[in-house]
Structure 1
């Protein structure tokens, strides 16, 4: 029992020794004591004294057990208080404080620092800091200090002091409350800062600045002002009174200052040989005035350029056919062009009042110039979303009058909206008509019997009809992908193996310059014959057509073969007739010769009957010889061997020779010949023999149809470009549908005497006239009879060319 008590005593002594060692090992060493102040050292000394008292009490406790335990408890309390005071001191030292106040649990506040000790009054646990800080600062400190002492809430507060400023910091440390004070450097006064800073700013400002005295004269200027007025220094500018502003601007500044306000204006000056625009600011001061001029030349030029650009843009917009209207951020009208005013039939006075967009829409609604809406208000609010949009808004307006408008609402950078209205009514109508035409074109193409295919400028198939598919035995699926011309040619090759025709079509389709159409004929392997054509189109495309002409070709070939047979027969006939006529001429010439010989008186006298018979023989022989000559002439013309002996002929002599040749014919028929030719008709170039033959045949035909006792008239008329010879009879006339047939061979005109010729005379006439480059025609004459008109051109080269 006593051993256990001795052990407890030894442990208590060891604890007390450890406690004393702990105190010695703390920063309260000798060096630390020297670093503390007098009061701080006193505190530590108190703490050490307490520790010593605790040690003495412990020794006594060994003797007396009960007294020892009580002394140990008292020593623990003293040790805790000493440690709290030590931590508070450490807090003050760590905060680099110039002084402070410490509150412990039981003792009165401890004051540190001479200023605090002199200015703070302590009454128990309470203090009065107003003598130290002043009333205002003490009032500001009261609330945070109360919270610190009651709850331990720290704070930092800066308050003014007589010597400057104090930084007060409150904190809780080891159960104590500490208020540390640290002096701060004093802030410069506003007046001193303004004075120093203003002077520096005045001198360094890049803009001209000045100060005027009460009389309005310059009292001080900065270097920028001196440079603007071409002065060497600011003092020179003041001394010489060099003004930057004109008198009008200075007077305006005086008036503004007299009214008690500041002057602000814009003026133009010449500085450094250049025109400058300045924004002038001048304020009133107690000693005069101070001013500043800011060079806004670049900004003014830019503003003017922007104004000119905007004006040009507005003029351009006013010339556009597209309606343009601009609204500002307040939704009021800012700009509109003439197209907008005309499109919606708006009054200019109404628009000049700058109405809002809602007012314009309401006005247009009453005029039925906006789309009909079941909920107009909701539609209008939907339009206003453009003011909050980021991207342009597109919409279509279908107006009650049938117009269709394309609307684009573009938000502006400044918050407004620009509307573009394009009247697409006509374009939509054209598009509708175009689509209708395309459908009609497709139906038309499908209704054609010809095969049609249209290729684009890229050589690809664009259009085709059903006839094209059927003609080349193609499927619509094969052509649905718009194949190239080469692919189409390959599809058609099984029916037409020959490639040259499609190569010619391809050259037209793919040609870039000098595009010309092509026509061709294809004979397919199945015996069908096609007429093809490739025709360039204005848009760069090519239309290819195929027409099945198999039946026509068969008929054509049959007709050609028949015509060739007829021509061969006609040639054989002409050859036979010419051959026979040639061989008839020799015996006929012999017969005519003997007939003329018998009529000679030297042969012997003939009876009247013999002379009559001989006259008939001679007449018939001459007629037969003329017929044979005509046949031989026609044969020569058909063979292309007829030539003309062109000479200059006298018209009067030619007509007289013809009249002498037909004298016997006229006498036998009892018809008179009348020659109506002016004496100045002149001369012309022709083959005299063929001209007399032409007139002889025409007069012979006229005599044949003229009644006995009638007359045949020959006339000549000279024109600027031709000589016209006419022969007119007094017969029954001729129908217009019969006149042309009389120029065909072996077509004879009925004679009143019951006899008709063989029908070669007029055919010979036309042939000879064509050789002369002229023409001949028959027509009924006025007053009865038939008029034959022969026109000989006076152009000699053309007649020579015709004769050749």
Structure 2
């Protein structure tokens, strides 16, 4: 404004007189207008007076002069007035702004008089304005790097409150929903977060609670927490499957849940409370009231009838300030399980008592909770001591004092290591070598419920057996390696598992190739250059790889190199197969020679038999003729004979009779050997058969002065047999005994009967039979004339054995050199029964 006045002053002073008069007119015109106040409270007229330094006369003259300007200067006057008004308006606004700034500073100082943070989001702007002391929530260092980190609520709030804050801020910005939250920061500060939508902005204020306001917020928080807990507990009690109730101090029912209503068969909770229905019986309620009156907790396992079924419940009740509360938990299943567990534990105890292994169970306090009889016997501990539940250390100390533990240089360290089993997870195995020579296997097993179970086994014999087994295995390996016989073992998969050097040498194989465990087919391919018989190798493959019908296979291999092998497969119990090869080339050659010789001997023997048979038949006809004519000549009707003729005829008769008997014996033996001899079975009178045989040797008895003693029972009876052959057997035995008996000796024949057999015995007192010829007395043409006065053809005892065996009997010779010989013939009584048994 001062600049305008100065400009006007300079203009007016430079005007001509006419101009001065015009200025006066302008002043007059201005004075006619309304006079707004200037900054210094001067009117425009006063200003003009001051600026032009005019008196009133001059000013009047000036006004008159200016009036002459007329409408020419009206526009200039209006323009000047407008500018003056604008200037005055600007001055007023500046004054208002200054006052508002002062008021804003005063309000800001009042707003931030306490620590708080303001976060404001303008409409459509995602970048908020943050004011206040942000160090209230985040350290100053973090804020210096990024003030926006205060919006990461998870950095200064726990997870759940941070999520709650995120949802509240999102609802405020999107829908203008205000909120008021009382939260606790991660460092334990109590804060209040309030959000409002004001003037199109979303504003969040965060401040720390203190004093009464903090206590009120904490009280509200505790109230809400308690209210939630109370509602949760009420919902839990209502939904719980166990009867829950509360009573007043007078014993009246004040609360009951749904399970209590069902158990007492009430219509509803209100009906149950109104009727004061009781769950327990009178005596149980009386006992519970007595216990609760002493301010004690009542605990009992009681039978309760629920839904017409008697079940077992664990009842617990306690006294409260205004009465009592109780709960009944169904323990029927638990009771059954406990009984079952007790029965199972008892069964396990009985089972453990029957074990040969010593078992000792120590509980979590390291005290003996269980032991079996084998444990007591193994360590020789006193039963009274074990029944007193000693601790583990006491047991070990007693065993150490009795020198029943391994000798240890540091027993405390050894015991501490053993007791590590109480803190272990996996079982541990030990072997204790005791001073008395025993070896004990020890297994420590941690128990799930605490404690340790010790398992003791006397493995002295097992270790001894293992040592002997290892020694035997080494011996067997050495034996196998030194066998001349080639041996190889093939597993159930058909691969070589074991072989000896003889096997390598026999088939010209290398040890390195067989150590690779080749299959039998590969081994076969390696062995084919020496032996290439497909059928034989197929049989060996099937014997080695067969799963069922595993049988022993014996084969003979004649290889290309001229050698002969005896092959044998032997199934082993573990599914493997033992394959052996034995070089029998020399044996085979000897066997062939022996076989050829045997065939020649058999042919010669058969030729001898045929010759004897043929000659016997050829001799019988002329012998019969000679015997016939001799009898005819000795007959008196043919005429008298001179003494010399009679003597010669007697010699002829005896010789022909002897020759006929020999021929008959040879024919009988040949018939028996050919299997053509048939017995003519019938009843045999034992006494008469002995008499008939004795009559045949009467002349010998008389000539040699031999006494015949007969020892039989008159009632001995009969048995089934061929009478003629039985007499022939007895005759030959008697003739043989008389021939070997000295003069004036005695020959005894006896017969006795058992339930199933008739036994004939002929004894003499001759020189006896030496042991080296005893087995040959029954052979053909074996005549042993040592000690005998009569040399025979050696067919008598052969016929005896043949005829007795045809009857199903047995012949036994007992002889002592120098004392005599006894021959025993055993005949079965019933031939039919004997034949049926043989068939």
Give the TM-score, by structure 1 length: 0.66
Q: How does 1:300-339 map to 2 (within 5 A)?
A: 301-302=333-334, 305=337, 309=341, 312=344, 316=348, 319-320=351-352, 321=357, 323=359, 325=361, 328=364, 332-333=365-366, 336-338=369-371
Q: Is the 8 A contact 2:366 2:451 kept in 1?
A: no
Equivalent residues in 2 for 1:236-315 (5 A)? 240-246=275-281, 261=295, 263=297, 265-266=299-300, 268=302, 269-273=304-308, 275=311, 277=313, 279-285=315-321, 289-297=322-330, 301-302=333-334, 305=337, 309=341, 312=344
1:553 and 2:555 matched: no
Q: Distance in 1 between matches of 2:93 and 2:414?
A: 86
- Which range moves more in the overlay, 781-790 or 643-652? 781-790
Structure 1 residue 241 displacement after superposition: 4.7
The one-character-per-residue Cα deviations of 1:453-487 (angstroms, maximum 9, x if unpaired) are 33344444333333333333332222223334444
Q: Are 2:780 and 1:745 equivalent residues in the alignment?
A: yes
Q: Does 1:619 pair with 2:636?
A: no
Pair 1:218-2:218 in alignment: no
Query: Using the alignment, how far apart are the partners of 1:473 and 1:466 within structure 2?
Result: 10
Deviation, 1:568, is 1.7
**1:729: Cα distance to partner?**
4.3
Q: 1:608 and 1:358 mapped to 2: Cα distance?
A: 125
Question: How many residues were matched structurally?
Answer: 659
The superposition leaves residues 743-783 of structure 1 with CA deviations (integer Å, 9 ceiling, x where unpaired) of: 22222232768652232333233333333333334444899
Structure-2 residue corresponding to 1:84: 101
Instruction: State which of 554, 557, 578 in structure 1 corresponds to 2:613.
Output: 578
Q: Where does residue 20 of structure 2 map in the other structure?
A: none
Instruction: Give the whole-Å Cα distance in 2 for the aligned partners of 1:272 and 1:673.
Output: 111
Segment of structure 1 superposing worse, 583-592 or 219-228: 219-228
Check 1:157–1:697 CA distance in 2 against 1; reply closer, same or farther (3 A cut).
closer
Flag the 1:729–1:379 CA change in 2: closer, same or farther, 3 A: closer
Distance in 2 separating the partners of 1:540 and 1:157: 81
Query: Cα 1:422–1:498, aligned 2, differ >3 Å: closer, same or farther?
Result: farther
SS class of match (1:749):
coil
Residues 493-523 of structure 1: per-residue CA shift (max 9 Å, x gap):
3333224444444444444445443333333
Aligned mates of 1:101, 1:737 — CA distance in 2: 144
TM-superposed CA distance for 1:619, in Å, is 1.9
Distance 1:357 1:698 in 2: 88
**Change over 3 Å in CA distance of 1:168–1:699 after alignment to 2:** closer
* Contact kept in structure 2, 1:358 and 1:380, CA below 8 Å: no
SS at match of 2:620: helix
- Provide, for residues 5-45 of structure 1, a one-character-per-residue CA deviation record: whole Å limited to 9, x for no partner: 989x99xxxxxxxxxxxxxxxxxxxxxxxxxxxxxxxxxxx
How far apart are 1:431 and its partner, in Å?
4.5
Which whole-Å deviations, capped at 9, do the CAs of 1:171-205 have from their partners, x for residues lacking one?
Answer: xxxxxxxxx99999998999999999999899865
Q: What displacement does 1:794 show?
A: 1.8
Deviation of the 1:673 alpha carbon: 4.8
2:560 corresponds to 1:525: yes
Aligned-partner Cα distance in 1 for 2:193–2:638: 185
Q: Is the 8 A contact 2:778 2:801 kept in 1?
A: yes
Task: Rate the CA distance shift 1:240–1:526 in 2: closer, same or farther, 3 A.
Answer: same
Give yes or no for the alignment of 1:776 onto 2:776: no
Q: 1:653 aligns with which of 685, 688, 708?
A: 688
Query: CA-to-partner distance for each residue in 1:352-392, whole Å, 9 max, x for gaps?
Result: 888887888888887785884769569948965974x7xx3
SS in 1 for 2:532: coil
Aligned-partner Cα distance in 2 for 1:525–1:693: 61
Aligned to 2:512: 477
Q: Distance in 2 between matches of 1:538 and 1:471?
A: 27
> How far has the Cα of 1:562 moved from its partner?
1.2
Whole-angstrom CA distance in 2 between matches of 1:681 and 1:535: 58
- Taking a change above 3 Å as real, the CA distance of residues 460 and 318 of structure 1, as seen in their structure-2 partners, is farther
Cα separation, 2, equivalents of 1:756 and 1:447: 58
The 1-side partners of 2:781 and 2:486 are apart by 48
Q: Mean Cα displacement is larger for which, 75-84 or 766-775?
A: 75-84
Distance of 1:157 and 1:240 partners within structure 2: 46
Match of 2:529 among 488, 494, 498: 494
Matched residues in 1 for 2:473 and 2:442: separation? 25
Gap regions ≥5 residues in structure 1: 11-50, 65-73, 93-99, 104-143, 145-155, 159-165, 170-179
Mapped to 1, the partners of 2:224 and 2:265 lie a distance apart of 32
Q: Kindly tell me: are residues 308 and 592 of structure 1, through their superposed partners in 2, closer, same or farther at Cα, counting changes over 3 Å?
A: closer
CA distance in 1, matches of 2:526, 2:112: 113
Q: 1:593 & 1:792 partners in 2: Cα distance? A: 36
Matches within 5 A, 1:27-38: none
1:636 corresponds in structure 2 to 671
- Which range moved further: 698-707 or 199-208? 199-208
Relative distance call for 1:490 and 1:653 in structure 2 (3 A) is same
CA distance in 2, matches of 1:80, 1:378: 94
What pairs with 1:62-101 in structure 2 (closer than 5 Å)?
A: 82=99, 84-88=101-105
1:45-95 deviation digits (Å, cap 9, x = unpaired): xxxxxx996999xxx9xx99xxxxxxxxx9999788535325347759xxx
Distance 1:267 1:798 in 2: 84
Q: Is the 8 A contact 2:556 2:566 kept in 1?
A: yes
Which residue does 2:470 correspond to in 1? 435
2:296–2:318 Cα contact (<8 Å) kept:
yes
Question: What's the CA shift for 1:303?
Answer: 7.8
Matched with 1:131 is: none
- Report if the CA contact (8 A) 1:771-1:802 is conserved: no
CA deviations 1:295-328 (Å, max 9, x no partner) are: 4226x84487368648845863785547565664
Distance 2:208 2:600 in 1: 146
Q: Residue 281 of structure 1 contacts residue 293 of structure 1 at CA under 8 Å; is this kept in 2? A: yes
TM-score normalised according to structure 2 size: 0.63
Contact 2:782 2:794 in 1 (8 A): yes
Picking from 798, 808, 813, the partner of 1:763 is 798
The equivalent of 2:19 in structure 1 is none
1:722 to 749, 754, 757: 757
Looking at structure 1, the residues matched to 484 and 600 of structure 2 have their Cα atoms a distance apart, in angstroms, of 34
1:226 offset after TM fit, Å?
5.6
Query: Any conservation in 2 of the 1:717–1:725 contact (CA below 8 Å)?
Result: yes
Which whole-Å CA distance do the structure 1 matches of 2:420 and 2:320 have between them?
49
Q: What SS is found at the alignment partner of 1:463?
A: strand
The equivalences for 1:662-681 within 5 A come to 662-669=697-704, 671=706, 673=708, 675-681=710-716
User: Which sits farther off after the overlay, 336-345 or 216-225?
Assistant: 336-345
Does structure 2 conserve the Cα–Cα contact (< 8 Å) formed by 1:372 and 1:399?
no
Question: SS of the counterpart of 1:791?
Answer: strand
Assess if the C-alpha contact under 8 Å between 1:451 and 1:471 holds in 2: yes
Evaluate the alpha carbon distance shift between residue 798 and residue 479 of structure 1 in structure 2; reply closer, same or farther with a 3 A threshold: farther
Query: Compared with structure 1, are the counterparts of its residues 462 and 243 closer, same or farther at alpha carbon in structure 2 (3 Å cutoff)?
Result: same
The alpha-carbon distance between structure 1 residues 659 and 195, as it changes in their structure 2 partners (threshold 3 A), is closer
Q: Distance in 1 between matches of 2:779 and 2:621?
A: 28
Q: Hey, what does 1:15 align to over in structure 2? A: none
